Amino acid sequence: MIEITEKEISLDEMIKRARSRDAGAMVTFLGTVRDDGIERMEVEAFREAAQAELEAIREEAMSRFHLIEAEVVHRTGSLAVGESILAIVCSAAHRDEAFSGCRYIIEELKKRAPLWKKELGENGGCWVGQT
């Protein structure tokens, strides 16, 4: 399942959906807004394109790493320090597959998905990845 939402992420629900009798491993990743001297972060997405790209990345990971399930939820909107931005849950028969699949999804998402983050603080804002 792929979801782009402004709602808080429920890691418990994602884990429930990814569980399987055939899975011997389940890996979770939760990305949060870290305190880099910012007050909050604005996350934007070209929703339709991001959804399609995340689906493609998920399918690649499922096939390449023999995942049983992969769940990806990415937040948009205004997020405070400490809030969740991204959650990934991968289940597989073995831990190496689950870890590798999870890492692949996050790395490809950062390269390919049309999602943008702007850090906001008392001195204004700056888009992440731009100087």
pLDDT in tens, 55-113: 999 999 999 999 999 999 999 999 999 999 999 999 999 999 999 999 999 999 999 99
3-state secondary structure of 118: strand
Whole-model pTM?
Answer: 0.93
DSSP annotation string for 75-92: E-EEEETT-EEEEEEEEE
CATH number of 2-127: 3.90.1170.40
The string of pLDDT tens digits covering residues 114-125 is: 999 999 988 878
Mean pLDDT, to the nearest integer, of 46-57?
A: 97
Number of CB atoms found within 10 A of residue 79's CB: 19
Give me the residue spans of the domains in the chain: 2-127
